[in-house]
Amino acid sequence: MLKKLRGGFLLIIGYLLSPLCWWNDLFFNLPIAYFFGYVCSWFSPNLLLPCSIIGYWVSNIVGILLMQFGTVDIFQKQPEERNLKKQLLTGMVSSTIYTIAILALIQLKILDAPVLFSFIGKNDSMPF
């Protein structure tokens, strides 16, 4: 029973971090990504945007992996050895495809990019 509760918790947290939840970016992924980029910008102000993208990508991968771990805990009857390498690869590939699709939609002007990083390049100074 404890294993199923842990699996349910991991599944919910993973869903909230994964790209499958359409509203999660505003409340979870973007703040995590921005915080990661902000911490990286302490070393160099030019790292804010690239590290924010990396933080967003990593938060999606973590979400997918947590969903996979939770699903295994809930539905697997007998304990089996997990193939962490395969699960990590699956999470990385699916999250990379999702990120590339979003970037392509922004580049093709189908999606409008948020003005979160609009200050970059204007006067090369941080607003904080």
pTM for the whole structure: 0.62
Asked whether residue 53 is assigned to any structural domain, the reply reads: yes
Asked whether residue 124 is assigned to any structural domain, the reply reads: no
Asked whether residue 117 is assigned to any structural domain, the reply reads: no
CA distance 7 to 71: 6
Number of folded domains that form the chain: 1
pLDDT tens digit sequence for 46-102: 888 899 989 988 888 888 888 888 888 787 776 666 677 877 787 678 767 877 887
pLDDT tens digit sequence for 16-57: 888 777 777 788 888 998 999 999 999 988 888 899 989 988
Residue 72's domain comprises: 2-76+83-112
Q: Tokens standing for 41?
A: 């910008």
Asked whether residue 17 is assigned to any structural domain, the reply reads: yes
Asked whether residue 50 is assigned to any structural domain, the reply reads: yes
* Farthest CA pair distance, the chain: 59
